[in-house]
């Protein structure tokens, strides 16, 4: 295998939005990236505090003072990460439209096909509809070439990342009935964000488990659009998220009906072929647990053929904050900057 010549450049990046989990995870990964200098981390509500005041694990590692996001507009930046809630992020994208920096938006504001679909599912008017035509859906396993050329990445949602990767080999090969897709998904609590609420109160999560957003979760349409694009026929997805009493991790269990003959050997080959040159997707021989990927950029997938019921069950496990958010953003950054895609993404899962 020919190795790419490693660049010695240092790129300047800004993280807009320091408070949340994706902000702190971006910082964690970028701190250890050999070609990156974190020039700014911004927070309007905590401006002037140290980053490690908000996230004490960074004490002595990243004590940088939090800036207002105003500063990045007037400075030379190579990449700007927007770690903001949806609905807020689009304002920044609009403002930064003419900035030379590449933008990686971790919110849901530019993931869908059009402002109309956005407004239907997010129930909010979009302030920058022009952005959609330039935005690239940042799932490197599917869109590596587009990502390399892009200047605006819509970083995928956590559930969609796991859901799409669990089914992509089947969809791309036209092997399943596209209206048969049922995705039963389970996420750790960090998916609900850092804000204190009844939902995130320990006593409502610990020793508990429940479904939420049944039939209405916004990630449904994101998954449908991507599966439709892959399969070149309309996908209809039943998506049910559940809340796990753990910090990190998403596991999706997807049920589909094949169009023709199937067997376990054939099924596995389809997955191995599809992910042959994708370094962060591991095709497993046993059902993975979320702890097998925790703290890493890996997505573990496991396809199973149930001969009795004639259904395919495909499972995928990711760390929702990493492959489902922060490390995926860095993966996109590597591609956009022409770096080797694995650069700075060598974290080994933390288990136990």
Residue 344 touches its own copies, criterion: CB under 8 A: no
Which positions from 60 through 79 interact with its own copies, judged by CB under 8 A? 60-61
Residue 91 touches its own copies, criterion: CB under 8 A: no
In the bound complex, what is the minimum distance in angstroms from residue 251's beta carbon to its own copies? 5
Pattern 189-208, its own copies, x by CB under 8 A: xx---x-xxx-xxxxxxxxx
Cα atoms found within 13 Å of the Cα of residue 80, Cβ hemisphere only:
28
Q: Name the catalytic one among 82, 90, 158, 336.
A: 158
Which positions from 235 through 264 interact with its own copies, judged by CB under 8 A? 236-238, 240, 242, 244-249, 251, 253, 255
Nearer to its own copies, 88 or 194 (CB): 194
In the bound complex, what is the minimum distance in angstroms from residue 207's beta carbon to its own copies? 5
Which positions from 268 through 307 interact with its own copies, judged by CB under 8 A? 282, 284, 286-296, 300, 304, 306
The pair phi, psi for residue 230, each rounded to 5°, is -65, -45
Question: CA-to-CA distance for 48 and 279, rounded, in angstroms?
Answer: 40
DSSP state of 157: P
Residue 214 touches its own copies, criterion: CB under 8 A: yes
Question: CA-to-CA distance for 184 and 241, rounded, in angstroms?
Answer: 6
Question: CA-to-CA distance for 93 and 75, rounded, in angstroms?
Answer: 16
Q: Binding residue for its own copies (CB under 8 A) from 174, 212, 232, 263?
A: 212
70 Cβ contact partners less than 8 Å away, ≥ 6 residues apart: none
Instruction: Burial-class residue 277 by CB neighbours within 10 Å (0-12, 13-18, 19+).
Output: exposed
In the bound complex, what is the minimum distance in angstroms from residue 41's beta carbon to its own copies? 14
Residue 81 touches its own copies, criterion: CB under 8 A: no
Instruction: Burial-class residue 228 by CB neighbours within 10 Å (0-12, 13-18, 19+).
Output: middle
Here the tokens at position 308 are 């009795």
Question: CA-to-CA distance for 2 and 22, rounded, in angstroms?
Answer: 34
Whether 299 is catalytic: no
How many residues bind its own copies, per CB under 8 A?
79
Residue 58 touches its own copies, criterion: CB under 8 A: yes
In the bound complex, what is the minimum distance in angstroms from residue 9's beta carbon to its own copies? 20
Query: Annotated catalytic sites, by residue?
Result: 158
């Amino acid at each position: 295998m020919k190795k790419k010549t490693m660049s010695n450049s240092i790129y300047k990046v800004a993280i807009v939005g320091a408070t949340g989990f994706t902000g702190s995870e971006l910082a964690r990964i970028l701190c250890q990236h050999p070609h990156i200098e974190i020039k700014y981390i911004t927070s309007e509500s905590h401006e002037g505090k140290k980053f490690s005041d908000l996230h004490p694990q960074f004490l002595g590692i990243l004590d940088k003072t939090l800036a207002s996001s105003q500063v990045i507009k007037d400075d030379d930046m190579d990449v700007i990460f927007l770690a903001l809630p949806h609905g807020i992020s689009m304002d920044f994208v609009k403002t930064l439209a003419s900035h030379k920096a590449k933008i990686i938006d971790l919110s849901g504001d530019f993931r869908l096909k059009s402002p109309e679909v956005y407004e239907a599912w997010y129930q909010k008017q979009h302030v920058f509809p022009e952005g959609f035509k330039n935005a690239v859906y940042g799932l490197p396993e599917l869109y590596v070439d587009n990502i390399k050329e892009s200047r605006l990445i819509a970083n995928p949602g956590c559930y969609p990342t796991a859901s799409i990767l669990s089914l992509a080999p089947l969809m791309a090969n036209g092997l399943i009935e596209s209206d048969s897709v049922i995705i039963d998904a389970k996420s750790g609590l960090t998916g609900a964000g850092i804000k204190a609420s009844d939902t995130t109160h320990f006593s409502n999560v610990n020793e508990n488990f429940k479904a939420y957003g049944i039939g209405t979760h916004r990630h449904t349409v994101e998954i449908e659009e991507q599966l439709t694009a892959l399969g070149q026929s309309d996908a209809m997805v039943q998506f049910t998220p559940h809340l796990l009493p753990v910090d990190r991790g998403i596991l999706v269990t997807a049920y589909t009906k094949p169009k023709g003959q199937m067997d376990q050997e054939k099924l596995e080959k389809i997955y191995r072929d599809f992910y042959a040159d994708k370094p962060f997707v591991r095709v497993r021989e046993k059902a993975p647990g979320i702890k097998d990927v925790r703290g890493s950029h890996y997505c573990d997938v496991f396809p199973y053929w149930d001969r009795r019921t004639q259904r395919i069950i495909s499972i995928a496990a990711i760390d929702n904050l990493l492959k489902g958010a922060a490390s995926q953003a860095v993966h996109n950054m590597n591609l956009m900057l022409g770096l080797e895609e694995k650069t700075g993404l060598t974290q080994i899962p933390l288990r136990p």
